Amino acid sequence: MNPRSFWIVSFTSMAIALGLGFSAAKSWQQRGVAGPALAGVRTSTNQGLDFSNVIPKVMPAVVGIRAYRAEQRQLQPDFHKFHPQLQPRESTGSGVVVDVEGKVGYILTNEHVVRDAETVRVILSDGRELKGKIGATDSKSDLAFIEVYGHDLVVAELGDSSTIHVGDWVLAIGNPFGLSHTVTTGIVSAQGRSDIKLIDSDQRYENFIQTDAAINPGNSGGPLVNLNSEVIGINTAIASRTGRYEGIGFAIPVNLARRVYQDLRKFNRVRRGWLGVSIDLVTREQSELLGLEQSGGILIRETFEGHPSDAAGLEVGDIILSFEGEKMLSVASLRLAVADTEIGSEVEVVILRNQQKKTFKVILGEAPQSMEHLYSRLKREHKKIEKEDIGLSLQSLTQDLADNYGFGDAEGVLVAKVEPNSRAERAGIVDGTLIQGIHQGEERQYTVKTVEEYEKAMAEVNKAITFGMSIRRPEERRTELVSVKPLPQSDEE
C-alpha cells in the first residue's frame, strides 16, 4: 500500500470510530434519563434533564413573605447560628397557597417566618403585593398559615410524602436573599431526620426530609416539589456553619404539614394524641445493663397522675417495645405515632417490666399545649451521711425530705453530696438525686428503697465495670437510667 492510500484508510477508520463513539455517547445519555422515575420530564440531548415543564404548574402558587416587627428581639442559637443575635424588624421568607375559598387564599409557611410579626406582606408570582393576616401557628412543628384576600389565586397540588424515596429528584422554590421565585434542584438525601433539634420547642415534632437542593435564608416556608409538580415538603432549615447553603437542607413532609394545617384551620391549634409519659431512648449500653436481649425500646421516665398511661397501669421504669403493633426504635417515632393517633382511641402498648412482656390498653388523651405545669421545682438540701467508693454521700429518704424535695410517695435513697470528679459525678448524678435501682446484666437487677438495700446491691455488682442506676434528679421529677463507668486509667498506671 502506498503512503497516500495508507493515510486515506487510516483517516477513514478513525472517522468511523469517532462517529460510533459519539453515537454511543448520545444513545447512552438518552437512555440514562429515560424511564418511569422521570415521567413527564423532558430530556435534552445537550443538557440532560429539563425541568421547565414542572415549574409552571406550581410556580404561581409560590409566594414571597415579608414580616415586620415593632422591635428587634433576641434570638436563641439555632442549627446554623452559633451565637445569639437580634431578630430583625423585617424578615423575608416564602410560602405556598394550599387552599382558596372564594377570594380568600390560605398560605402555608414556617412559624418562625412570621413569629412575633405585627404586619405581613405577601408577594405573588405575578408581582402583586397583598396584605397578609396570620391565621394560626404551631411552634412544635414550625408551621403556620396566612390568609390573603385577592382574585385569581392559584392553589398548589399537595402530594404524598410517604411515597418518596432517597434519590428522588426534587425542586426547591422560594425567595432566597429576596430573589423572588428562585428554583433549585437536588435529590432526597435522607428521610426521617428527627434528632437534629431544629425546632425551638420542648415538645418538638421533627420528621424532616433531607435534600441537597440549594436552600438559603428566605427559602423558609417555600415548597419542595417532586417531578409531578406536587408539593411533598415545606422547606424549613439548613445545616451550615456559615448560615448559607452547604449542601444539607431540611423540609417538613407534606403529610405532616397537611395535618397541622387542617387542625389549625379547624381548631386554631393542633390536637395531638397523648400517652401522658415522659420518655427516653434505651441505648445499647442501657439494654446490656438492664439485661435485655436486644437494644431498642423507650424508657418511661415519668408518668403523670390522672393521665392516660397512669390510668392504664403503666409505671416508671417500664420499657415500651411497641405501639399499635409497630416496634419503637426512637423517641421521635413514638412521639409522632402517638401524636398522629386519634384522640380518645384505644391503643395497644407492649412494655417490658421486670424482664417480662406485658400488654396494656391505653385510651389516648389530648396532648397539653404546654408541659410546664406538669413539672414542679424541687428545693435543694444536703446532709452528709456516708461516703461510697463511687463518690456518693447518702441518707435515707424520710417523708419530710420526700415532701421537701417534691418526691411525693416515691421510694429510694437520697444523694446528699457528690464528690468532684468521681464516677458518680461523671455519670451525671448531682446533689439531691434519688437513687431507685441498681442494674448490671440480667442477673443483677435491684430495686433500692433504703440505704441497706443500696449497700447490698452495690456489694453484688461488679464495680470494676460499668453498671447502671435508676435515678430521679432534684430538678426533674422524671426517672432515668444513667451509666456509672470506671474512671479512666492514669498515664502513670
What local confidence, expressed as pLDDT, does residue 308 receive? 92
**pLDDT digit string (tens) for 341-381?**
999 999 999 998 877 889 999 999 998 876 655 544 323 33
What local confidence, expressed as pLDDT, does residue 152 receive? 92
22-25 long-range contacts, CB within 8 A, separation 24+: none
What local confidence, expressed as pLDDT, does residue 452 receive? 85
Q: Which of 185-189, 426-430, 448-452 has the highest mean pLDDT?
A: 185-189
As a whole number of angstroms, the longest Cα–Cα distance in the chain is 115
Q: Model confidence at 88, in pLDDT bands (50, 70, 90)? A: low
**pLDDT digit string (tens) for 131-180?**
999 999 998 899 999 999 999 999 999 999 999 999 999 999 999 988 88
Q: How many helices (H) and strands (E) does the chain have?
A: 10, 32
Enzyme catalytic residues? 112, 142, 220
Q: Kindly state the average pLDDT of the residues 193-203.
A: 65
Which whole-number Å values give the CA distances from 329 to 64, 123, 161, 296, 348, in the listed order?
39, 43, 21, 5, 16
Q: Model confidence at 491, in pLDDT bands (50, 70, 90)? A: very low
Backbone angles phi, psi at 440, to 5 degrees: -160, 95
Q: Kindly state the average pLDDT of the residues 235-263.
A: 86
The answer, yes or no, to whether residue 399 has pLDDT greater than 70, is yes
Residue (of 122, 138, 124, 104) closest to 66 by Cα position: 122
What local confidence, expressed as pLDDT, does residue 416 receive? 83
What local confidence, expressed as pLDDT, does residue 232 receive? 97
What local confidence, expressed as pLDDT, does residue 372 receive? 56
Written as one string, the DSSP assignment of 320-335 is EEEETTEE--SHHHHH
CA 126 to chain centre: 35
The overall average pLDDT reported for the chain is: 79
Residue (of 241, 251, 253) closest to 214 by Cα position: 251
Q: Model confidence at 31, in pLDDT bands (50, 70, 90)? A: very low
What local confidence, expressed as pLDDT, does residue 492 receive? 32
Q: Which helix (H) or strand (E) holds 12?
A: helix 3-33
Go through the domains of the chain in sequence order and give each one's CATH number. Answer: 38-270 (2.40.10.120), 273-373 (2.30.42.10), 376-484 (2.30.42.10)
Q: Which helix (H) or strand (E) holds 452?
A: helix 451-460
Q: Are 43 and 30 in contact (CB under 8 A)?
A: yes
15-24 long-range contacts, CB within 8 A, separation 24+: none
Burial of 455 (0-12, 13-18, 19+ CB in 10 A): middle
Which whole-number Å values give the CA distances from 233 to 74, 226, 255, 366, in the listed order?
29, 9, 8, 26
Q: Model confidence at 36, in pLDDT bands (50, 70, 90)? A: very low
Cβ count within 10 A of residue 244 = 14
What local confidence, expressed as pLDDT, does residue 149 receive? 95
User: CA 6, 7, 11, 14 torsion: positive or negative?
Assistant: positive
What local confidence, expressed as pLDDT, does residue 371 receive? 61
At position 102, the amino acid (one-letter code) is G
What local confidence, expressed as pLDDT, does residue 379 receive? 30
What local confidence, expressed as pLDDT, does residue 261 receive? 96
Residue (of 191, 195, 311) closest to 251 by Cα position: 191
Q: Which of 115-124, 280-289, 454-463 has the highest mean pLDDT?
A: 115-124
What local confidence, expressed as pLDDT, does residue 476 receive? 65
Q: Which residues contact 437 (CB under 8 A, 6 or more apart)?
A: 317, 445, 446, 447, 448, 468, 469, 470
The Cα 208–Cα 229 span in angstroms is 20
**pLDDT digit string (tens) for 271-322?**
999 998 888 888 777 777 777 766 668 888 778 878 899 889 998 888 899 9
Q: Kindly state the average pLDDT of the residues 4-32.
A: 39
What local confidence, expressed as pLDDT, does residue 299 receive? 85
The answer, yes or no, to whether residue 93 has pLDDT greater than 80, is yes
Q: Kindly state the average pLDDT of the residues 468-486.
A: 82
Q: Kindly state the average pLDDT of the residues 398-426.
A: 82
What local confidence, expressed as pLDDT, does residue 66 receive? 94
Q: What is the pTM of this model?
A: 0.64
